[in-house]
A and B are shown apart, each in its own frame.
Chain A
């Protein structure tokens, strides 16, 4: 008799445990406000990424087309992958002295792992991370970027 009792209680225990799970999925089936799907390309306008999100390295320029990069290559040294290459030149300052400045700030997006070490290393906050994340292009060459805009100069007072 105890065997039969155990058998029956086994069966009912099993059914109860199964019903508990079914109740949960049944709840989600009927409560559509729990749905968490984000319909990505549709919500592009409302999709706000946090300001710290690391999408790609950019160099902010102000309205006079001036940036803060001195060409010290600290970022180039900090980068683990050789993502950044800085080509320097010598500018003639107004007082006639030769002054080191950047010619091209080459940034290889395809090598970048967004580790943020270059931004940490930069002494003048000349580069920062942008919140873009759609990086796909049709030609790989487009991933090699020049960060300083043509004709840009270093801002006054930054050494």
Chain B
């Protein structure tokens, strides 16, 4: 059967069979890099188109419908436009940091792809601290945003970057605590173990109410972490024009834009992995026939389906809610999300020790 697992294993075996181990390893590196970059750009195009369509339908509009069939190539055209545009560097800017910032943001988004399992047995790096790797690396991206805001020599950018710093640092806590809930239940940081533990049911169904609370907290926290509305303080279009990327243009702006969408995809993929069972198909109790049909759907479709569902939820938030104010944003974190997720973690721990979950 043709699956991602078989293809990757075949390529792996062929490489090690035909070349020396060192060469094969290097060739694999190159192959993975090419795959990640193409996935990166493909996801960017798809997600931006999706956002535009979702927003249009929610706003009783049609959305892009001119370029290509049903407007499918709209984002391709936009990207081409951004590539040929001039990337300006303002006169008073710190040239090095200004030009470095978009690349840092993007490289971090790419690095985050490493531990994810996109389909059964299809993973770049099955590291034993997968979830920790994710939380650790994702918090570096705020440095890129701070760099962009500081180096632009623009007051709006600076304000946006500072807001973003305060926001990401605080929301990391509750995101981390809700991730911990699942780790407590699984007892492992390895992504493949976490997925394997959900073979007889996803954690969101197995874990009773505490896991559902953890899931909700996680979604809210990662929405804030990726600077998405209603937590888009760093951009806050009506307050700070465009926040930290006010001064960016052309491809450098496009990299920020792309990284934002990739980050959404990544956090949603993490949410799907932790709470919705990654590539695991939906199984219901003893309905053998139903479970059998579900098994026929390829694992990659399960994974991407769950992830895109979460992406849609985050987009749904954006096109419905007004933006919070910066102090209310921090209030929400420190007064509501953090205490709730702490108590919740205690409950989950209790549940895990007593073995109350299914």
Contacts and interface: CB of A to CB of B under 8 A. Distances in A.
> Do A's and B's CB atoms come within 8 Å in the complex?
yes
A39 B65 CA distance: 10
A28 B59 contact: yes
B131 to A, nearest CB: 27
B316 A26 contact: yes
Contacts of B62: 35, 37, 39
Interface stretch (A17-25, A62-70, A125-133): A17-25
A24 B316 CA distance: 11
B58 interface: yes
A28 B57 contact: yes
Interface in B40-75: 54, 57-62, 65
A36 interface: yes
B319 A25 contact: yes
B320 A21 contact: yes
Contacts of B59: 28
A32 interface: yes
Contact of A36 (B60, B320, B321): B60
A11 interface: yes
Contacts of B320: 18, 21-22, 24-25
Interface string A2-43: 000000000100000010011011101100101111010000
**Chain A interface category by residue count:** 10 to 19
Nearest to B335: A7
B57 A35 contact: yes
Nearest to A18: B321
A29 B54 contact: yes
A21 B336 CA distance: 21
B58 A35 contact: no
Interface residues of B, number: 15
A34 B319 contact: no
Interface in A96-149: none
A28 B321 contact: no
B336 A29 contact: no
A25 B58 contact: yes
Nearest to A11: B336
Interface in A35-53: 35-37, 39
A152 B319 CA distance: 60
B61 A37 contact: yes
Contacts of B54: 29
Nearest to A27: B58
A22 B316 CA distance: 7
B241 to A, nearest CB: 26
A128 B61 CA distance: 36
Interface string A70-103: 0000000000000000000000000000000000
Nearest to A21: B320
Nearest to B322: A21
B336 A28 contact: no
Nearest to B216: A15
A28 B316 CA distance: 11
A26 B312 CA distance: 11
Given A18-B320, A25-B316, 20 more contacts: A11-B336, A11-B340, A21-B320, A21-B321, A22-B316, A22-B317, A22-B320, A25-B58, A25-B319, A26-B58, A28-B58, A28-B59, A29-B54, A29-B57, A34-B60, A35-B60, A35-B62, A36-B60, A37-B60, A37-B62
29 contacts: A11-B336, A11-B340, A18-B320, A18-B321, A21-B320, A21-B321, A22-B316, A22-B317, A22-B320, A24-B320, A25-B58, A25-B319, A26-B58, A26-B316, A28-B57, A28-B60, A29-B58, A29-B316, A32-B57, A34-B60, A35-B60, A35-B61, A35-B62, A36-B60, A36-B61, A37-B61, A37-B62, A39-B62, A39-B65
Q: 4 tightest A-B contacts by CB?
A: A37-B62, A25-B58, A25-B320, A29-B57
